[in-house]
Structures are given as C-alpha cells and as structure tokens.
Amino acid sequence: MTTLEKGVAGKRPIDPLAARLRNAGLRVTAQRLGVLQVLKASHIHPTAEAVHRQVRKRFPKISLNTVYLNLEALTRVGETSEVWIGHDAARFEANSVPHDHAVCVRCKKIADVHDPALRRLKMPRGFAMKFDVISHRVDFFGLCKTCRVGRRRNKPRSYRGT
C-alpha cells in the first residue's frame, strides 16, 4: 500500500472521490455524496425527482432544488452525466466509461450499450470541415424485452406500431 492509500501519519486514508471533488472546486458534503451514491448504485438512469426520493431516505430534509444543484455541479465536474433522449425530463448517470444507449420507446427504459466500434465513429468528411466535434453519442430506439413480449401477447401479429 502506498502512503497515499494509507494516509499520512495515521490519519484517515485520502478518498479519491473527495480529492477529485475538491480539486474541481466543489465542497464535499454528505448530501452531495448521497446524490452521487444513489446514481452509482442505479442502473436505470433516474430523473432528478427519482434521485431525490432515494436521497430523502438518508437525508429526509433535502430539497429537490438541492438535488438539482448537486446534479448540476457533479455533471459540470464530470462525475455524472445528464442524459437527454426524448423524454420529458433529463435522466442522470454516474457511469464514467464512454458508452451509448438503447431506449425503449414504450416504457422509456434506458440501457447502456458498450461497443468499441461505436466509439470509433467519425464525422463524415464534408461535415468535419464545417463542424468541430467534441463528442458524440449513438442512441438506439426500439422495444425492450419486457415491452416486446407484452406487445406480442396483447396485440395481433400484424401490429406494427408502438
């Protein structure tokens, strides 16, 4: 174990997350860490309201506004990402590995898609001259397994809509 991992002179070990937040100019608060913990534990890309419901279990007096402010700050420093995929509200995630999404058009479930080939996509040459790309994302839209099975059970075979 390195000195950094052990801490200095018997003090508590340095928390890498706390260090990243401080280095980015953010205060490390219990509520901010609570918001981040909810996102790290979630794989469903929750809305701010859903994060608020979960965080209130630990911090009953936390306001929805405080959750929004923490999500905004954590997104600004790269600890979380805001995901907008045609829903009424933004969704959030703490997955720092570059990835894309598959979205169910019926139930709005969002699943992470990890495919290195998608990460290597490039802007077509004609656009590259007119547009300075800083990032990209691919979103797949369709029916998740649950909705697909439900559609087969509840709709005639000729049904093509969603």
Residues 7 and 103: their CA atoms lie apart, in Å, by 43
CATH number of the domain bearing residue 122: 3.30.1490.190
Share of the chain above pLDDT 90, in %: 56
* Res. 80 pLDDT band, cuts 50 70 90: very high
Residues 118 and 138: their CA atoms lie apart, in Å, by 7
pLDDT in tens, 60-76: 999 999 999 999 999 99
Residues 73 and 57: their CA atoms lie apart, in Å, by 21
Which residue, among 119, 101, 116, has the nearest Cα to 44 in the 3D structure? 101
Residue ending a domain, among 63, 96, 129, is 96
Residue ending a domain, among 96, 121, 143, is 96
Question: Is 81 domain-assigned?
Answer: yes
pLDDT for 157 beyond 80: no
- Domain range for 115 is 97-162
- Let me know: does 103 contact 86? Beta carbons within 8 Å: yes
Residues 67 and 112: their CA atoms lie apart, in Å, by 23
